[in-house]
Amino acid sequence: MKQEYTVTVYTENQVGLLNRIAIIFSRRKINIESLNTSPSEIEGIHRFTIVINEIEDVVRKLVRQIEKQVDVLKAYFNTNDQIVWQELALYKVPTDEIAEKVKVERLLREHGARAVVIRKDYTIFETSGHREETDKLISVLEPFGLIEFVRSARVAIIKESAGFHLKLREFEQAEPSEEAVENEYLDQGKDVFVM
């Protein structure tokens, strides 16, 4: 049965990688619900957070295919109960409508929102949470002339993860790079000659 999965991909930041990853999804006719790229906790390593609805077997094969890409270091997939996640949403409404007809402070408190811009012609509210939570505020604001709405892609942290830097250390120990081997010899007081 299909369910929502979050695919997390750790990569080197290389031009064209996003396109190559997107092609893997499109070849399998898998729709990407949400896509976020950002720096990770390790300098020079980026993190893709991709949300899809699919069956587990397909997701497992998809992740293995993603890991075959040259610049991909590791890919994981998780269900929603295995991660902590949020999305950010912005709502633009006419200031005169919202100020006249709504107790704005109560509205903000009830939905965990805050006003980020207040002008004579419009006000912009911001909130974060799960999609269902941000959708509730849409339904509240629509009767007052919701001018514009935008929601960010998902950001997620895996609950049972100690961080990618530990996994990277494991990779280095399993297959040390030439630089790591060279440093190891230097630390032991041996001369290394590079040809």
Confidence of residue 173 (pLDDT cuts 50, 70, 90): low
What's the confidence (pLDDT) of residue 164? 66
Output the pLDDT for position 104.
77
Q: In the prediction, which pLDDT does 67 show?
A: 92
Name the CA radius of gyration of the chain, rounded. Answer: 23
> What structural domains does the chain harbor?
3-83+156-180 (3.30.70.260), 85-151 (3.30.70.1150)
Buried b vs exposed e over 34-65: b needs ≥16 C-beta within 10 Å? Answer: bbebeebeeeebbbbbbbbebeeeebeebbeb
* DSSP structure class, residue 63: H
Strands 3-12 and 83-93: unpaired
Q: CB within 8 A of 175, min separation 6: which ones?
A: none
Of 59, 66, 72, the residue nearest 14 (C-alpha): 72
pTM score above 0.75:
yes
